[in-house]
Amino acid sequence: MEQVAKPLTNLQLELLKVFSYDLSDKELLDIKGMLTKHFSSRLKKKTTEIWKDKGYSQADMLNWLNDEKQ
């Protein structure tokens, strides 16, 4: 299968700049933590918007979790 080269995103380019320096293991872990926190926050915000738009409730979630068909 032939792979198509894709240009790097602005995030990938910025990360390459950041990681072009030798970082300690702790610094690397800190940066990974910051990225995780950032993307987790974005995900939570987006899912909250979807839940509000769809009118979902805690009862809906419990029903989905207890649905034996899945």
For the chain, the three-class secondary structure string (H helix, E strand, C coil) is CCCCCCCCCHHHHHHHHHCCCCCCHHHHHHHHHHHHHHHHHHHHHHHHHHHHHHCCCHHHHHHHHCCCCC
The band of 67, judged by pLDDT with boundaries at 50, 70 and 90, is: confident
Tell me what the mean pLDDT of segment 26-48 comes to.
Answer: 94
Encode pLDDT of 4-26 as tens digits: 678 999 989 988 887 788 889 99
Report the candidate in 14, 48, 52, 51 with the shortest Cα–Cα distance to residue 34.
Answer: 14
The band of 70, judged by pLDDT with boundaries at 50, 70 and 90, is: low
In this predicted structure, the answer to whether residue 68 has a pLDDT above a threshold of 70 is: yes
CA distance 6 to 66: 42
Q: Where are the domains of the chain?
A: 24-70
Percent pLDDT > 70 in the chain is 91
Residue partners of 18: CB distance under 8 A and separation at least 6: 31
